Amino acid sequence: MANRIYLYPLIIRIWHLLNALFILALIFTGCSMYATGSGYEFMKFKAAVKIHDVLGILLTANYALFILANFKTGNIKHYLFRSKGFFMQMIRQFRYYIFGIFKNENHPYPITVDRKFNPLQQFSYVIIMFIMVPFLILTGWAYLFPSILFDRILGMTGIRVNDIIHILSGYLCTLFLFIHLYFCTIGDTFTSNFKSMITGWHKVH
C-alpha cells in the first residue's frame, strides 16, 4: 500500500517555483542578448539587458531565501554528503539509471524522510546550488559593478574572464534544468514528482 511523506515545506516550494520562473526568464533574455545581430533575437538588446538585470537581482534575493529556508526547515541536511562509500553509491545509482530502471529493478536508494535525494541527485544539486548558481550570481553582479573586476587575469581582461565564467555557469545551469525536468518524469507516473512539488507530499511504497 502506498503511503505519503511530507518532503517539501511550503517555503521550499515557493522558492522552487520562483527559482524555476527566474531561471527560465534569464535563459530567455540571456539567449536573446547572445543572439543580438543574428536575426534570431527574441527582443531588442537594451530591453533584454534591463529585464535580465532585474531578474538577476530577483534571483539573488530568491537564493537568499533558499539558504534561509534550508536552515530554517532543516532541509540543509539533505545536501550534506555521507562520506562513507559515497562514490560507490553514486556508481550504483548511475548503473540503476542506465540499466536497472529499464528492467523494473527496485530503486537502490528510495526516498525517505531522512534521504530526500539519491547520491547522484545530492552530488548534482550541491554542484549546481552551492557552486554554479553562486558563480552565476556573483559574475552577474560584476556586470553591474565592473570596477570591482581585476584589470587582467591570465592575460585576459577581467571583464572577458567574467564573461566566460558567467556564460559557462549559465550553460551548465541550463543543461541541469533539462536533465532535472527529464528525471522528474520518471516517478511513479509522468506527473507524480511535479504534483509532489505542488502539494509537498511524496508517495512511497
pLDDT in tens, 106-152: 889 988 888 899 999 999 999 999 999 999 999 999 998 888 877 77
Domain boundaries, the chain: 3-204
Cell of 154: 591570465
**CATH architecture label of 3-204:** Up-down Bundle (1.20)
- The model's pTM is 0.87
Contact 165, 139 (CB under 8 A): yes
The secondary structure element, H or E, covering residue 152 is: strand 152-153
Three-state DSSP class for 108?
Answer: coil
pLDDT in tens, 171-183: 999 999 999 999 8
Among 74, 163, 179, CA closest to 123: 179
Calpha distance 117→8 (Å, rounded)? 12
